Structure 1
Amino acid sequence: MNYAVIFAGGTGTRMNARTCPKQFLKLHDKEIIVYTLEHFERHPEIDGISVVCIAEWIDYLKVLLDKYRLKKVKWISAGGSTGQESIYKGLNAMREDIEEDSIVLIHDGVRPLIDAELISDNIQVAKTKGCAITVVPAIETIMLVNDEGQIVQNVDRSRCRVVRAPQSFVYKDIMKVHDNARLEGINDIVDSATMMTRAGFKLYPVTGKPENIKITTPSDYYTFRAIVEAKENSQIFGI
């Protein structure tokens, strides 16, 4: 069985959106979080979805689930004080309901430009190797700086990858790592891939498409809009 944890607990301060959190901003009268959820809802290999949401917006999320007939969302949890805590809550909500050897795809609610192929690839690699981390090749020159802010080393970009989402794991493994982190009082690890590396797990890449961006700033939103409209035009005009 395969499940998705979609975390949408951020307030989106960098978006400068005064009316609502970034995951509830609309494009063509549809919320960003809905675009994201629809990919998992429609994927035949996804058996259920756990969503982590800002507590004050859970009722609105439920309205959207009903409006867009998102039937695979089976668990809704209030977000935590950090991203790590939010993911934990999304995972923990499923603890009594799914088998330990299930595959869980952890994904940002504000990464709506994924596709079915990426979801399938994550599931396949996680099943065969124990985990799957979505990446894209680094295309810019990368350099390291020291504590004084000086550039000290050029990094071979052919060996560099930018980590994105989904990040996919065997449920019992990712749950155990989160449980151990909480016992150690650790609550600020940036993402699940970093947590698993810290715990000694080997990570395996799945190459995604460059447009799988996280919508964090206004420019990200405009990029999202341009890509969606380009895809719509290609379907309409056959280009």
Structure 2
Amino acid sequence: MNYAVIFAGGTGTRMNTKTRPKQFLTLHGKEIIIYTLEHFENHPEIDGISVVCIEEWIDYLKKLLEKYRIKKVKWISPGGSTGQESIYNGLNAMRGEIANDSIVLIHDGVRPLIDEQLISDNIRAAKEKGCAVTVVPATETVMLVDDNEQIVESVDRHKCRVVRAPQSFVYQDLLEAHDEARNKGINTIIDSATMMAAAGYTLYPVVGRPDNIKITTPSDYYTFRAIVEAEENSQIFGY
């Protein structure tokens, strides 16, 4: 069985919007979080979805799920004080209700430009290797700096990958890593891939599309709009 944990707990401070969190901004009348959820809702291998949402917006999310007939969302949890805590809440909501060897895909609610193939590739890689992390090749020069903000080394970009999402793992392995981190008082690990690497697991890359962006700024939103409209035009006009 395969499940998705969708993190929609951010407040969108970099989006400069005072009216609603970024995951609830709309494009053509549809909220970004719904664009994201529909990919998992429509994927034949996804058996259930756990959503982590800003507590004050949970009722609104439930109305959207009903409006767009999203049936696979079985758990909704409030966001935590950090990203790590929010993901834990989404995982913990499923504790005892799904098999320990299930595959879980951790994904950002504001990363709506994924596709069926990427979800399938993550599931397959996680089943075969235990850990799968979506990446894209680095396309610009990468350099390391020291504590004095001086460039000390140029890194071969052909060996560099930019980490994105989904990030996919065996449910029990990821939950135990979270439990261990919490027992140690650690609550600020940046993402699941970093947590699993720290726990000693080997991470395996799944190459995704460069346009699988996370919408955190106004320019990201405009890029998202352009890509969606280009896809719509290709369906209508055939180009």
* Same topology, TM > 0.5: yes
The separation in 2 between residues aligned to 1:199 and 1:155, in whole angstroms, is 26
Residues 2-21 of structure 1: pairs in structure 2 closer than 5 A? 2-21=2-21
Superposition deviation, residue 96 in structure 1: 1.5
Q: Which amino acid counterpart does residue 150 of structure 1 have in structure 2? A: Q
Q: Which amino acid counterpart does residue 141 of structure 1 have in structure 2? A: T
* Secondary structure class of the residue paired with 1:20: coil
1:133-158: CA deviation from partner (whole Å, max 9, x where unpaired) = 00000000000111111111100000
1:51-100: CA deviation from partner (whole Å, max 9, x where unpaired) = 00000000000000000000000000000000000000000000121000
Q: TM-score, normalised by structure 1?
A: 1.00
Match of 1:23 in 2: 23
Superposition deviation, residue 162 in structure 1: 0.2
Q: Which amino acid counterpart does residue 82 of structure 2 have in structure 1? A: T
Residues 168-207 of structure 1: pairs in structure 2 closer than 5 A? 168-207=168-207
Superposition deviation, residue 16 in structure 1: 0.3
The separation in 1 between residues aligned to 2:161 and 2:68, in whole angstroms, is 35
Q: Which amino acid counterpart does residue 193 of structure 2 have in structure 1? A: A
The separation in 2 between residues aligned to 1:104 and 1:149, in whole angstroms, is 38
Residues 67-86 of structure 1: pairs in structure 2 closer than 5 A? 67-86=67-86
Residues 98-177 of structure 1: pairs in structure 2 closer than 5 A? 98-177=98-177
Structure 2, unmatched stretches of 5+, are none
Superposition deviation, residue 131 in structure 1: 1.0
The separation in 1 between residues aligned to 2:88 and 2:149, in whole angstroms, is 35
The separation in 1 between residues aligned to 2:138 and 2:205, in whole angstroms, is 13
Match of 2:58 in 1: 58
* Secondary structure class of the residue paired with 1:100: coil
The separation in 1 between residues aligned to 2:176 and 2:31, in whole angstroms, is 33
Aligned-CA RMSD value:
0.3
* Secondary structure class of the residue paired with 1:19: coil
* Secondary structure class of the residue paired with 1:36: helix
Superposition deviation, residue 25 in structure 1: 0.2
The separation in 2 between residues aligned to 1:198 and 1:152, in whole angstroms, is 25
Match of 2:222 in 1: 222
The separation in 1 between residues aligned to 2:225 and 2:109, in whole angstroms, is 16
* Secondary structure class of the residue paired with 1:194: helix
